[in-house]
Amino acid sequence: MAREIAPRVAVDPAIRSGKPVIRGTRVTVELVIAKLAGGMTADEVAAEYDLSAEDVRAALGYAASVLAAEEVRVTA
């Protein structure tokens, strides 16, 4: 059963092994971010994967929130 973990982002153990996906799709947040990092524009990603601009922004927002919660410790 899908569970929304952020606006437009859901997880379901039966879909993509439980990775965060855009709600109602099998498109992972990871894929959206990777495509943007690889040089595709948000409009290109949306068109390629049948997403809305809001879906792409939601993936970015979710990724930002995950990184904001991450704690990095530097050791000598």
In the predicted model, what is the mean pLDDT of residues 50-58?
A: 98
What pTM did the predictor assign?
A: 0.92
Q: To the nearest whole percent, how much of the chain has pLDDT over 70?
A: 100
Which CATH number, 3.40.630.10, 3.40.47.10, 3.30.590.20, 1.10.10.10, labels domain 3-69?
1.10.10.10
> HSE on the CB side for 9, CA within 13 Å?
22
In the predicted model, what is the mean pLDDT of residues 15-22?
A: 97
> HSE on the CB side for 25, CA within 13 Å?
18
Q: Is the pLDDT of residue 49 over 90?
A: yes
Q: To the nearest whole percent, how much of the chain has pLDDT over 90?
A: 97
Q: Is the pLDDT of residue 76 over 90?
A: no
In the predicted model, what is the mean pLDDT of residues 8-34?
A: 97
Q: What are the residue boundaries of the structural domains of the chain, listed by start?
A: 3-69
